[in-house]
């Protein structure tokens, strides 16, 4: 079946502009995660959705970052007034329902490479 997809694959924007990054999880996966991969900071957790709710958004670096998920499926990560330090690869992952004693593997998308000029 189809894996996690992300769009666009590359995004170049000017400082101060807003950007939206999209993630389509694997069908049936209720958990969805956003991570950021940058040269200076490595791979960092941003936010976690269970269904349409975000019980853990502690990794969002500032109030310029927000994310939503609708219909328990597609998620959008929005960065307002982009800064050069926002340049990174933004990765999305999804997994089947979590909880209890089991760990459910996170399947990663190919990422969106964001460049802020």
Binding site for other proteins (CB under 8 A): 4, 31, 33, 35, 42-45, 48, 56, 91, 93, 95, 98-106, 108-111
Minimum distance from CB of 7 to other proteins (Å)? 13
Minimum distance from CB of 14 to other proteins (Å)? 24
Minimum distance from CB of 81 to other proteins (Å)? 27
Residue 57 DSSP class? -
Minimum distance from CB of 2 to other proteins (Å)? 13
- Cβ-based nearer residue to other proteins, 82 or 106: 106
Q: Where are the beta strands (DSSP E) in 1-117?
A: 5-7, 10-13, 19-24, 31-38, 42-50, 53-56, 65-69, 75-79, 88-95, 107-108, 112-116
Please count the residues of the chain.
117
- Cβ-based nearer residue to other proteins, 10 or 80: 10
Q: How far apart are CA 18 and CA 57, in angstroms?
A: 20
**Is 58 exposed, middle or buried (CB count within 10 Å of its CB: 0-12, 13-18, 19+)?**
exposed
- Cβ-based nearer residue to other proteins, 37 or 66: 37
């Amino acid at each position: 079946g189809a894996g996690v997809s992300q769009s666009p694959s590359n995004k170049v924007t000017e400082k101060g502009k807003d950007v939206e990054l999209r993630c389509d999880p694997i069908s049936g996966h209720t958990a969805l995660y956003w991570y950021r991969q940058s040269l200076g900071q490595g791979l960092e957790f941003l936010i976690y959705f269970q269904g349409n709710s975000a019980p853990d958004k502690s990794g969002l670096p500032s109030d310029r970052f927000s994310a939503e998920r609708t219909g328990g499926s597609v998620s959008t990560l929005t960065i307002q007034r982009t800064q050069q330090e926002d340049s990174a690869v933004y990765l999305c992952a999804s997994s089947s329902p979590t909880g209890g004693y089991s760990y459910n593997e996170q399947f990663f998308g190919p990422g969106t490479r964001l460049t802020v000029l």
